[in-house]
Amino acid sequence: MRKNITVRQLPNFINGKYVETSETFDVLYPVTGEVTAKAHKAGQAEVDAAVAAARAALHGPWGKLTQQDRAKMVRAIAEGVQKRFDDFLEAEVLDTGKPYSVASHVDIPRGASNFAAFADVLRENPTETFMLDTPDGSGALNYGVRRPRGVIGIISPWNLPLLLMTFKAGPALACGNTVVVKPSEVTPSTATLMGEVMNEVGVPEGVYNVVHGFGDTGQLLTSHPDIDGITFTGETLTGSIILKAIAPTLKGASMEMGGKNPGIVFEDADLDLTIKELGRSCFLNTGQVCLGTERVYVHESIFDQVRDRLKDYAENQLHYGYPDEDTTNFGPVVSDEHREKVLSYYKLAEEEGATVVTGGGAPAFEDERDGGSWVEPTIWTGLTHDSRVATEEIFGPCTALIPFTDEDEVIKLANDTNYGLAATFFTTNASRVHRVAPQLEAGIVWVNSWFLRDLRTAFGGMKHSGIGREGGVHGLDFYTELSNVCVKY
Ligand code: NDP
């Protein structure tokens, strides 16, 4: 139902305290377009203060914690998020408009488990050792020592705000770093609320800081001489700008960027399972998942069947509504600006000769939701593999179905992109699973499933989708510095 909104203040969080500034910007509720909060924009002074606090905290009580005590504290943060579950849920829904059914199953639980899962990552992963023969016969021992990288700048996007920010803050803190977070300007609430949790569980001041603003605030972080590493999730173009900005100060970087992920449905796929998973991969979170499937290659022998069944899924399994309604599983996109982008691709698809199987526009509610950022779930056929709609990342609830005839052809089509984040394929042939999976140029390949995440596994993209891997032990390469110690006997 319609929310009674009281406009909240979202100050920066610096050195354990909330810090207001004179310049604020509006945060809107995408369901109706109403203002829900005023975020306080950080300038140079606030960014400098946040970075200085983070630097000082490295040498304060935080830096002196044993690994075990630090892990305990990181687990306490996870519990702290769980205790405030309803507050996080409400904040995330107000910023994104996403249904409670999605945020309560995906965003908030994962936001908590990102701390729990990485709490012990450093303790549980030994470093390498090598015995070395020396010419004098005495020998030497080499062993690795990991230490925190230092102050980490986290720049995060709006599609899964808490989940993606904590996927970085969790391992960063577990490894003993301190962080300055710049959340997306359209979804600043949960990162702000996290400051309260940090204070509630006794995380020392300066360990976790949040600065609000647009790309210019992000730039103050990327160019800051006293930040040791930037971990970024967002668009590929932004990533490239950030890489240029960090070059003069020679920071480390971990980059998770855009995708145009292929789905493949082979002729031997289990279609009940395929439609269920494909439906999620095209439409979950209103298509605003970096791992989503905006182009699906379907074997020509089952093309019509898949088209009809996916159409039925979009029309009968997805339910628009207010976020708190039990039946709602499809929300608005995050902002009017993004809605305009998605709708421009809906128009372009028709110009490029698409047949609209379903959707193609925006719904009308005849109530206050018409002020919100809604678009219809959309499926196209008739687009060529090299059309702009089938090659550019739209980040909306839409997909192009394209027929193929054989396995070698479809592998080429799937790989014919600058992106390389995820790929998903459906088959019941075990040999095909192992033949095709390693040929797909993607950091993550799902077979007969989608978005089935194990936090111990590597996460990241190849080509223009990313640089480096996070997740499990893989994040250690970014979140720690590894020194080799060579001891001669
Ligand atoms: P953007 O790249 O627009 O923004 C990401 C963050 O970067 C925001 O906080 C943004 O601030 C900030 N930013 C923008 N410009 C600069 C700059 N010059 N210097 C420093 N920071 C800057 O991404 P979106 O928020 O639009 O997110 C959607 C994108 O994220 C999609 O491309 C999607 O594929 C990708 N993504 C990738 C994932 C992955 O794991 N590979 C996961 C999820 C999303 P602000 O917007 O407030 O100005």
Q: Which helix (H) or strand (E) element contains residue 310?
A: helix 303-316
pLDDT score recorded for residue 256: 97
- Structure confidence at residue 3 (pLDDT): 78
290 carries an active-site annotation: yes
Helix (H, G, I), strand (E, B) or coil at 471: coil
pLDDT bracket for residue 182 (50, 70, 90)? very high
In this structure, what DSSP letter does residue 416 have?
-
Q: How many helices (H) and strands (E) does the chain have?
A: 17, 21
User: Going by C-beta distance under 8 Å and a sequence separation of 6 or more, which residues neighbour residue 45?
Assistant: none
Q: What is the pLDDT of residue 269?
A: 98
Confidence of residue 479 (pLDDT cuts 50, 70, 90): very high
Q: Are 266 and 306 in contact (CB under 8 A)?
A: no
Residue 2 has pLDDT above 80, yes or no: no
Q: Separation of 114 CA from ligand 1 center, angstroms?
A: 20
Contact 237, 209 (CB under 8 A): no
CA distance 443 to 410: 18
| Residue from 181, 241, 290 to probe ligand 1 pocket by mutation (most atoms less than 8 Å from CB) | 290
Q: How far is the CA of 180 from the centre of ligand 1 (A)?
A: 16
Q: Which long-range contacts (CB under 8 A, 24 or more apart) does 235-240 make?
A: 235/157, 235/393, 236/393, 236/418, 236/419, 236/464, 236/465
From the CA of 153, how far away is ligand 1's center (Å)?
14
Per-position DSSP letters for 207-254, written without gaps between them: SEEE-B-SHHHHHHHHT-TT--EEEEES-HHHHHHHHHHHGGGT-EEE
pLDDT at 346: 98
- Chain-centre distance for alpha carbon 83: 23
Q: What is the pLDDT of residue 107?
A: 97
Which residues contact residue 247 at a Cβ distance below 8 angstroms, ignoring those fewer than 6 apart? none
Question: Alpha-carbon distance 447 to 439, whole Å?
Answer: 13
Span 144-168, pLDDT tens digits: 999 999 999 999 999 999 999 999 9
Question: Which domains, ranges and CATH numbers included, belong to the chain?
Answer: 8-257+465-488 (3.40.605.10), 261-454 (3.40.309.10)
Q: Which of 454, 463, 85, 453 is nearest to 289 (CA)?
A: 453
What is the pLDDT averaged over residues 85-90? 97
Report the percent of the chain where pLDDT is more than 70: 100
Catalytic residue of the set 90, 185, 205, 256:
256
Decide: pTM greater than 0.95: yes
Predicted confidence at residue 5, as pLDDT, reads: 87
Q: Looking at ligand 1, which residue's alpha carbon is closest to its atom 16? A: 215
Helices within 335-380 (DSSP H only)? 336-351
441 is catalytic: no
pLDDT band at 122 (very low <50, low <70, confident <90, very high): confident
Tell how far the Cα of 323 is from the centroid of ligand 1, in angstroms: 24
Return the pLDDT at 387: 98
Determine which residue's CA is closest to atom 1 belonging to ligand 1. Answer: 234
Query: Given the CA of residue 465, which atom of ligand 1 is nearest to it?
Result: 41
For the record, the structure tokens of 264 come out as: 């493949």
Residue closest via CA to ligand 1's atom 44 equals 290
Instruction: Look at ligand 1, atom 35, and give the residue with the nearest C-alpha.
Output: 234
Q: Read off the amino acid at residue 199.
A: N
Q: Which residues contact 325 (CB under 8 A, 6 or more apart)?
A: 1, 99
pLDDT in the model for residue 319: 96
Q: How confident is the model at residue 478 (pLDDT cuts 50, 70, 90)?
A: very high
Q: Whose CA is nearest to atom 28 of ligand 1?
A: 234
Q: What confidence category does residue 123 fall into, taking pLDDT thresholds of 50, 70 and 90? A: confident
Q: Name the residue at shortest CA distance from atom 37 of ligand 1.
A: 257
**Measuring CA to CA, which residue among 264, 217, 214 is closest to residue 429?**
264
Q: Tell me the CA–centroid distance for residue 108 and ligand 1, in Å.
A: 20
Residue 349 confidence (pLDDT):
98
Q: What 3-state DSSP class applies to 349? A: helix
- Give the residue from 218, 252, 211 showing the smallest Cα distance to 238: 218
What mean pLDDT is predicted for residues 188-207?
98
pLDDT digits (tens, 9 = 90+) for 291-333: 999 999 999 999 999 999 999 999 999 999 999 999 999 999 9
With CA atoms as reference, report the closest residue to 97 among 396, 369, 379, 378: 369
- Per-residue pLDDT at 1 exceeds 80: no
pLDDT of res. 163: 98
Distance 460 CA to ligand 1 centre (A): 15
- Worst-scoring range by mean pLDDT, 39-53, 76-90, 119-133, 165-179? 119-133
d(CA 428, CA 426): 7
Q: Which residues line ligand 1 (CB under 6 A)?
A: 155-159, 164, 182, 184-185, 214-215, 218-219, 222, 233-235, 238, 241-242, 256-259, 290, 393, 395, 421, 461, 465-466
Q: Is the pLDDT of residue 458 over 80?
A: yes
Rounded Cα gap, residues 184 and 231, in angstroms:
14
What angle do helix axes 108-118 and 85-96 make, rounded to 10 degrees? 120
Contact in structure between 261 and 292 (CB atoms under 8 Å): yes
pLDDT at 4: 85
Measure the CA–CA gap between 216 and 52, rounded to whole angstroms: 19
Q: Length of the chain, please? A: 489
Query: Which of 46, 277, 282, 290 is labelled catalytic?
Result: 290
Name residue 14's beta-bridge partners: 17
Contact yes or no for 367/34 (Cβ under 8 A): no
Helix (H) or strand (E) run with residue 297 in it: strand 293-299
Q: How many CB atoms lie within 10 A of CB 420?
A: 23
Strand 422-426 to 261-265 pairing: parallel
C-alpha span between 99 and 380 (Å, rounded): 25
The 8-10 sheet, strands edge to edge: 8-10, 35-40, 24-28
End-to-end Cα separation, the chain, in angstroms: 73
Please give the mean pLDDT across all residues of the chain.
97
Please name the amino acid found at residue 182: K
**pLDDT band with cut points at 50, 70 and 90 for residue 90:** very high
Cα 486 to ligand 1 centroid, rounded to whole Å: 42
